[in-house]
Amino acid sequence: MKYTVITGASSGIGYETALAFAKEGKNLIITARRQAELEKLKKEVQEIDSTLDVVINVTDLSILENVYSFYESLKDYELETFVNNAGFGNFDPVGSQRLEKIEKLLQLNVEALTILSSLFVRDYAEKEGTQIINISSVGGYTIFPDAVTYCSSKYYVSAFTEGLSQELKTLNAKMQAKVLAPASTQTEFSKRAREVNEYVYKGDFHTAKEMASFLLELYHSDKTVGIVDLSSYEFELRDPIFNHL
């Protein structure tokens, strides 16, 4: 029995991605800090297909030792796909950003993603049909005002994942590595980034369900990058964007 791992599955893109993979008959391992939301997701998945197994793991991935113990807990399962989706943003000029929040941002967006990706690649690169999909952002290819640190963390995710994809191809590995780069998507992201109770979306945005369906398009394609074009707001599947030697 094979499993799809999704971090940050308790809301937004991760939640909808879990439902989208469930519709494709995939067993799931879902993780985040909020247990109640993960239980709700598990119920919804089992309403889609009661034969699917859904494993819940409640943990804070901004703490390094939890990252290792989370991966250790996966040893009992055969993994197929790993979606590193947990992440958050911040909107402040660099000189006035709250550093406790920034520490967590870097630990989650960069450190946890790197450790989990490395361990998964180490154990599964030679297994047929395996994929790693890391969630970057259009902000991982374009710097937005007042979001320099967040964008930089996502530039890291884009560069790391495009580089990993290239490395796996060079090694003729069986695993594929892909980057999803959403633009504005209606989730809890903006509330958390801006520390407000409500956020009203203006201009173009996608729903989390739309973004999850884009992620599934990327999953089924041979392209490396799935990105929202900022001028048309269309989702595009693309070859690597960064230069490789």
Residue ranges in contact with ligand NAP by CB under 6 A:
8-14, 32-34, 37, 60-62, 85-89, 108, 135, 137, 182, 184-185, 187-189, 192, 208
Name which of 194 and 244 has its Cβ closer to ligand NAP.
194
Q: Nearest approach, Cβ of 16 to ligand NAP (angstroms)?
A: 8
Contact 16, 40 (CB under 8 A): no
Q: How far is the CB of 140 from ligand NAP (least distance, A)?
A: 8
Under 8 Å between Cβ of 147 and 89: yes
What's the closest the beta carbon of residue 102 comes to ligand NAP, in angstroms? 13
Cβ atoms within 10 Å, residue 62: 19
Which contacts (CB < 8 Å, 24+ apart) does range 37-46 have?
A: 37/10, 37/11, 38/9, 38/10, 41/9, 41/10, 41/15, 44/19, 45/18, 45/19
Residue nearest ligand NAP, Cβ-based: 12
Q: CB of residue 126 vs ligand NAP: minimum separation in angstroms?
A: 28
CB of 189 to ligand NAP, least distance (A): 3
Residue nearer to ligand NAP on the CB measure, 19 or 32: 32
> Measured on CA atoms in the order 58, 106, 153, 144, is the torsion positive or negative?
positive
Q: Which CB sits closer to ligand NAP, 173 or 214? A: 214
- Which CB, 24 or 204, lies closer to ligand NAP? 204
List Cα–Cα distances, 24 to 18, 193, 223, in angstroms: 10, 32, 20
Nearer to ligand NAP by C-beta: 173 or 180? 180
Longest dimension (CA), the chain: 52
Min CB(242)–ligand NAP separation in Å: 18
CB 132 within 8 A of CB 84: yes
Nearer to ligand NAP, 12 or 226 (CB): 12
Residue 240 · residue 225 · CB < 8 Å: yes
Distance of CA 7 to the CA centre of its chain: 7
